[in-house]
Amino acid sequence: MIEPRLYRAAFLPALLAAVIAAFSLEDRPPAVPQGLPADVLFDGGLASSSVGEIVHAAPDRRVGSPGDLRTAGTVAGAFRGFRFTTTVDRFRDDGTSLVNVIGRRPGLSPHEVVLLASRDALSVPDATGSGADTAALMEVARVLSGRATNRTIVLASVDGSTRGDAGARRFVDRIGDPKLVDAVLVLSNMGAPRSHGPLLVDWSNDWSRGGLGLRRTATDSLRNELGTDGGPTATPAAQIARLAVPVGLGAQGALLQRGLPALRLSGSGERAGPQGQRRLADIDHTRYGELGRSALRVVSALDAAHALPAHGPHSYVLAGGGVVPGWALALLAAALILPALVASVDALARAGRRHEPVTGWLGWAWFGMLPLALGLGVADLLVLVGLAKDAPPTPLDPSLTPVDGRALADLVAVSLTILVCWALMRTPLIRRGARLPDASAPGAGVATSLGLCAVSVAIWFLDPYAALLFALPLNCWMLAVISGARPATRVWLVLIGLLPAALVAGTYMHELSLGPLEAVWYLFLLITGGQVGLLRTLVLFVVGGLFGAVVAIVAARVRSYEKAPDPAPPEPGLPPAIGPASRLEGAPERGRRSLLRR
């Protein structure tokens, strides 16, 4: 029920959009000049001694613990001793007492450069992580104590990193005027002996990204101190995958989502280092000093700059030496949705002319989301009764979310709920109750195709990058359910449509070092914790339900193709029939559809 010429013609706008995207490539904004040499200022040995004092005074500094609160007092005393105006902000998160310690050193301008580090520990003793980050903040306070600055320097020791960056979110809520914040540099795992990924992290919890000028400034600082630019950026395909399903691990994710220009400098890469490499003896004093001086160089460069580093596009993809702005990719995504939409509307018109029922199949296709909704209900119930981890509203470090026996039982319970419900909804009994024929009926394919187009438009408004990835399954699955393709081709179209999902899963499994089961459990926590968001979760369920409808239709078409009788031989003595109408008589269903299409 598809007109090939009309479908092919609808790709012309996509060709034009691809040309526009190619010519939209921009140069990356420049970095601001580097500030004063910092090699004689940030003392790695002195900072390492401070780490030792912190670890020995409070080995257990996990969130809300006495050691965490004791370290907050140590930081506040150090800030005051170095003549920073110090504020101790006490608050509660889910019944746990947390403390943020904020030190301010006024400059000639009220505009602020913020250096932020989490104080609570992921584990015991977490010397290379929160211990080294806290000591680095105090060392920067010592360095800046006797210097006049152009901008106000803010040092923030925040709590609750293991509770969804509760301290960072609290810092944003109490910051006053966000427009006065010129940049936020987040420090994490500064004492790590080696990196397992890029040193600079600019991913957000939405489809925005950190500023390019700030990133290039930090890159220059790292190059001056470590002789490296922080590691390679992700490939364009991986960047699109991350923007389509945004997960901003670390405090910069929460800050960027709330509109602050943030960037994270991490000594271990995007996630924390292995559990066995977080001891005090694992700190590389030389590397620790180089990372600390890099952070100080960034602060000095931003403070001395007459103008802020340019942000570049609000959202973008780095390709080669240039930048593809988000609007160009959004335009391409819309153009790739158009062919499927045109073909689906044309198929609806054809179904109307042939009096094929479509309306009844709309509910059949859309109600496929109910098994997923029921699975979410079971997952939320498990969280409510304490049988599953209660995840915070922002992503956790994967080291905090191991797949233990309880997690495995939760996944099995939710999976069985979804599978059993889906199987029951696809039984002939349900279809007969709705007075619907077999799923191989043309109306089922038209209804499903229209549903796919509708949800693709909704995805485009939510996240154009997700719509760009969904364009492939949209067109493949549309062809699988309303074209006259052979059974093997239909199956291949369904499988090819799964490639974007495989790209997203593979990207996160690689960059966050997750195994298949760990990735599924991490997705479980993102959804139940609310990080995915209500609208995104609803769209995900609709897509899952429509995919189930696609599978059911293709399976029914394959069965009907196999059962179709061969054409009967002509009776002896009769001349062979000629003409299109006579060729339809006795032809199998697959042949009849082909002739009608012509």
What is the domain partition of the chain in residue ranges?
Answer: 36-320, 358-563
Token pair 């609000």 is found at 314
> Is the torsion defined by CA of 40, 42, 48, 50 positive or negative?
positive
Number of other residues whose CB lies within 10 A of the CB of residue 488: 10
367 burial via Cβ count (<10 Å: 0-12, 13-18, 19+): middle
Contact 70, 126 (CB under 8 A): no
**Which pLDDT score, from 0 to 100, does residue 260 have?**
94
**Which pLDDT score, from 0 to 100, does residue 587 have?**
45
CATH class of 36-320: alpha beta
Quote the Cα angle for 350-433-425, to 5°.
Answer: 85
Q: Where are the alpha helices (DSSP H) in 147-211?
A: 166-173
**Which pLDDT score, from 0 to 100, does residue 501 have?**
96
Token pair 């409070």 is found at 58
What the block records as the tokens of 546 is: 């429509």
Query: What is the full DSSP assignment across 433-491?
Result: HTT---TTSHHHHHHHHHHHHHHHHHHHHH-HHHHHHHHHHHHHHHHHHHS---HHHHH
Quote the Cα angle for 235-239-242, to 5°.
Answer: 140
d(CA 98, CA 92): 6
Amino acid identity at 182: D
Q: Which helix (H) or strand (E) holds 365?
A: helix 359-366
Q: Which helix (H) or strand (E) holds 536?
A: helix 534-563
Contact 252, 263 (CB under 8 A): yes
What the block records as the tokens of 313 is: 């596009």
In sequence order, the β-bridge partners of residue 115 are 155, 185
Task: Please report, in tens digits, the pLDDT of each residue of the chain (598 residues total).
Answer: 678 899 999 999 999 999 999 999 999 999 999 876 544 478 888 999 999 999 999 999 999 999 999 999 999 999 999 999 999 999 998 888 999 999 999 999 999 999 999 999 999 999 999 999 999 999 999 999 878 899 999 999 999 999 989 999 999 999 888 999 999 999 999 999 999 889 999 999 998 899 999 999 999 999 999 988 888 888 999 999 999 999 999 999 999 999 999 999 999 999 988 888 889 889 999 999 999 999 999 999 999 998 889 999 999 999 988 999 999 999 999 999 999 999 999 999 988 888 887 887 888 887 788 889 999 999 999 999 999 999 998 999 998 889 999 999 999 999 999 998 888 776 665 555 556 667 778 888 899 999 999 999 999 999 999 999 999 999 999 999 998 889 899 999 999 999 999 999 999 999 999 999 999 999 999 999 988 888 999 999 999 999 989 998 999 888 877 665 655 555 555 555 444 444 444 444 444 444 444 4
Contact 285, 544 (CB under 8 A): no
What the block records as the tokens of 91 is: 């608050």
- What is the pTM for the complete model shown? 0.88
Q: Which helix (H) or strand (E) holds 548?
A: helix 534-563
What the block records as the tokens of 44 is: 């790695």
Q: Which residues contact 520 (CB under 8 A, 6 or more apart)?
A: 411
